Structure formats: C-alpha cells, structure tokens
Amino acid sequence: MSIRRPSRAPGRGRPLLLQAVVAGLLAVAVVAVAGPARADEDALAAYRDRFRMGMDRYRAGAMAEAIRVWGAIYEEIGPRAGYRLSFNLGRAYDTNGEATRAAERYRAFLDEAEARRAAGEPLDPMVERETHDATERIAALNESHGRIEIKAGPAAVLAQVDATDPRLGGFTAYVAPGKHVVTFSPGTRNEERVEVTVSAGELVATQPTVPPPAWVDAGPIDTLPVLTHRQKKHPFSPVVLYTGAAVTVVSVVAPALAYAHAYSLYDTYNSISSSTASRSSAYAAYTGGATSVAYGMLAVPIALGAVTGGLTIWYFAGAKDRDAGVGVAPSVLPGGGSVSVTGRF
C-alpha cells in the first residue's frame, strides 16, 4: 500500500516567501522594541550591587536602611529609569509606617507605567502585577487614613504637619483620623498654625489664611549689581608643599645616622695612641667608607630641599588674583500592609 503525496497547490511558493518577509519584519520589530530596553538594562547595570544591598536590608527588616540605599539610587537615575525602584520604595515606606511617602512613591510608579502604556511600550508581566498591587495599596491607604492636602499657592510656602519635616506646599499628607496641626512658614515671623480635623477616608484641603509675601521683581538679572572679592589662585594645591617638606625632613635621618657612624670611627681612631695596625684600620674605615656613605646620603635631602624650595617659589610667585562673584542661591527643603518588592529594577 502506498501513500499518495498531495500535489503542491498553485502559488504556494509565494506564501512561503511572504511568510519569510513577515518573519523578517517581526524580527526587526522585536529588535526595535528590545533595543531601548537593553540599553536601559545596561545603563542600570552599575547600580545592581547597590540595589541588592538595599534588598538585603529590606529582607532583614531594616526598612530605614533600605530606603536610604534605594532612595539614593532613585535620585541619581531619575523617575523614568527608576520607576520600578519607585514601587520598591513605596513598599519599604509602607512597611515602615510612612503612609505619605508610600503613597507618593506608588503614585509615581503608576504614573510612569501609564505613560509607558500610552506610548505603546509593552510592560513586563511583573510590572502589571505591581501596578495592580500599587493601586490596591493606595486605595487601602486612602480608606484607612485621613488626608490633608496642602495646596500650592502662587508663592512657595513651607508647611509642617504635626511634627513631621516641613515641606513646600503642593503635597498631600496621610495622617491618622483625628485632629492635627498644620504650621505654615514654621520658625519665621509669618508662622501660622491651622488646626485640621479629618476622618478616615476624608480629604481636607488647607492653605495659609495670610498669603506669604511674594517675591519682588528686581529687574533683569544682568542689570543687578554683582558683589565681588579678590581671590588668589595658586598653580597647585598646598598639599604638594607639605608633602615635599615632610619627605625632605625624613630624608635627613639617614645621612645623620651615617655621619654619627663616621664620627664614631673617628673617635675610635683618636683613642688608639700608638701607630698600630688597629689605628690604621680605623683611619681607613673612617676616611674610605663611612665618610663617603655619609656624603652620598647627604645628597638626597639636599636635592629634595632644592625641589621643595623651587615648588615653594612657584606656589607663591605663580599665584594670580581673580574676581570671585558672590551670589545667594535659594534652598529648598526636600519633601517628600506590606507584601513584597521586586528583586530587580
């Protein structure tokens, strides 16, 4: 019994060619998508060890240390590259009982994930699970806490909720239900205390009743006077001089010991009164060996002293006066149920 081979349908070669073309286009598309992801992975490679250190502290229950390690990385790489780390920070803050910071980090993670979805970027299945977890945790925090929204006004103002660190307005503080005190412009003559009562699940907005003084427009920056003072710029660090002087002083020790040995031989020579073989031997040792070694060693500190002296002259003679502008830059005070965190970012 034979098996009959079906004849090839007309035009079958063209679909095979089409399949090959489609496969090639898909491969290009995969490379185009994976390329930036690989670049992101390579850019984060330098932070892997520090990330694992934070993970070790997290697993050990040392949340403050994990937050310190991860927070430093997050500040360095920024919210876009470090958005996965933002979720981990949210978990750490959440476990540490810092609801305000936890909600902020969860929200930053969700915002970035949503931006990537909108841009057509596929998200890792683990990221999808984390977005679900972050959404649930924010909802749980909103339900169990009261929220005090410190509105951002036209002029920047510091606000302190109870005994927490002051932050610039434009944030929402998660607090326990009950009465709380919000202090605006703490420690200044414009300080104002506002009492707020909030229930679980409630959001209460507040702002200072007396707006802080607005900045006065002093005109274009290039028309403002600049205070300057004269400052000397030396050709190199004074540490070089200190090092040279120290080495020169140390180098004097060896020839000093050599000279002491030579004088010891000379004293031995003088102590031998008669012209004996011992006296001749002592004289030969003094004149032939000990003095030559002492003179040779003396050349080292002399040379070092000359170099140090030359550097000293260059340091002071080569100094130039320059104008240094004096400016004042505004400073801003930083603001700001556990499951698990991801083991990578």
Interval 77-112: pLDDT, tens = 998 999 999 999 999 999 999 999 999 999 999 999
* Those residues with Cβ within 8 angstroms of residue 339's Cβ, 6 or more apart along the chain or in another chain: 91, 133
Q: Comparing 159-168, 283-292, 320-329, which segment has the lowest mean pLDDT?
A: 320-329
Q: What is the mean pLDDT of residues 173-194?
A: 94
Burial string for 76-90 (b: 16+ CB within 10 Å, else e) reads ebeeebbbbbbbbbb
More confident of the two residues 50 and 325: 50
pLDDT > 90 in the chain, percent:
41
Contact 130, 85 (CB under 8 A): no
- Against a cut of 0.75, is the pTM above it? no
